[in-house]
Amino acid sequence: MNHQWAMRMGEESLKLELLRRQAKTDLERSKVAAPSLATPSKLGQWLIYLISLPVIPKSRRATYLMKQS
């Protein structure tokens, strides 16, 4: 399951980055979702990551939480 999640996240990140790079204007680029948060690799980083989740802007929170399920 973790591998599949990581692959989905990577694929989505790549698609968004390609959309950002293909945008011809700043307005088009601003319409593309912001990059997702990095996945931490150490326990301390995970704790900080989990504590920071409630402060994710509402516009990104719903998308982020949907990715987790």
Residue 67 CA to residue 69 CA, distance in Å, equals: 6
Per-residue pLDDT of the chain (69 residues; tens, 9 = 90+): 578 877 888 888 899 999 999 999 999 988 888 877 776 667 777 777 777 766 656 566 555 555 554
List Cα–Cα distances, 5 to 10, 61, 65, in angstroms: 9, 17, 13
Q: What is the pLDDT of residue 51?
A: 75
pLDDT computed for residue 42 by the predictor = 76
Q: What's the pTM? A: 0.51
Query: What is the structure's pLDDT at 62?
Result: 52
CA–CA gap between residue 27 and residue 47 (Å, rounded) = 36
32 within 8 A of 19, measured Cβ to Cβ: yes
